[in-house]
Amino acid sequence: MKDITKTYFKKLKCIIIQSPIEVLDDDLCESVFYKLIKLKVDGFNIIGSKYLAIDQNDFLGTHIVLCEEVEDELRVLMSFKIMSEDLALHWNIPFSGRDVVKKSESELHINAVEDYIKRCQDKGRKIAYPGSMTMCPSIKDPSERTEIIKIFQALLTFYHKEIYPSVSICVARDRVRSEFFLREMGFSELSFGGQVVPPVLLPQYRNEPFKIMVVEDYFSLHALRMMKTYEELIYNTVEIFRDSGTVKKKQVLQSDLSKSSA
């Protein structure tokens, strides 16, 4: 199979950081975490927000970071974070899938999200909330940006199928029109009472409208194809986590990818 991940970039590497607050004493985590926070701040400064680009979820959640290796240095090209229900419970913090909409104080949207969560729980499905997808602002070439979006699709699918088998809820900014590449993955606009829920105005983003996007059951064939296309990148992903008081690194192996039943 042709390794198309090398079409636009020299050498790509994916790093997963589980709960950075627990692994900051790891040199790789320290370097990459600083760079992804800087990337987020730069990205938020471009789109504008009256809230900080980082919050407690950045220290407690899961970060998936796409880097390019350049002369023994890692340049962060794109990152996103995910907060799962279980991780929120572990840290005794609100689950982001609920909390992001509660800030709107819209009864319709809050009830619609609660209905979705209950439906998933009734089916025995776990839920995770991905967000803060940020691409390096210096990447301007449309082909390169398209490539990174495809890799994002592959890595998000990988997370939901292999790292934390689950369905997904997120918000998509109308102005950026990010719902289009989410739809390719199997996301759809949240429905409630037989009607599609209209965009919600989020005060943390200057009351801009956002669509609430969810995966009800399964990711699309396109999402699975992206995961297959970038399997070499995925197999070489390095995961940094703490286990029994010790910081550990684990490289994803092909055998790990055959265990999911989600």
DSSP string, 204-238: GGTTEEEEEEEESS---HHHHHHHHHTHHHHHT-E
Angle at 157 between CA 151 and CA 160, to 5 degrees: 145
Expressed as residue numbers, the domain containing 8 is 4-258
Whether the model clears a pTM of 0.85, i.e. scores above it, the answer is yes
Q: How many domains does the chain have?
A: 1
What CATH number is associated with residue 171? 3.40.630.30
Q: How far apart are CA 114 and CA 131, in angstroms?
A: 19
pLDDT given at position 253: 64
Angle at 33 between CA 81 and CA 50, to 5 degrees: 60
Centre a 10 Å sphere on the Cβ of residue 178 and count the other Cβ atoms it contains: 20
- The pLDDT value recorded for residue 44 is 73
Q: What is the distance between the alpha carbons of residues 164 and 202, in angstroms, rounded to a whole number?
A: 27
What pLDDT, on the 0 to 100 scale, is given for residue 38? Answer: 92
| Burial of 96: CB neighbours in 10 Å, binned 0-12, 13-18, 19+ | buried
Query: Helix 142-158 and helix 221-229: axis angle, to 10°?
Result: 100
| Predicted local distance difference test score (pLDDT) of residue 36 | 94
pLDDT tens, per residue, the chain with 262 residues: 444 444 577 799 999 999 999 999 999 999 999 999 999 888 777 665 555 678 999 999 999 999 999 888 999 999 999 999 999 999 999 999 999 999 999 999 999 999 999 999 999 999 999 999 999 989 999 999 999 999 999 999 999 999 999 999 999 998 878 899 999 999 999 999 999 999 999 988 888 899 999 998 899 999 999 999 999 999 999 999 999 888 888 887 654 554 443 3
Beta strands 238-243 and 12-18 are parallel
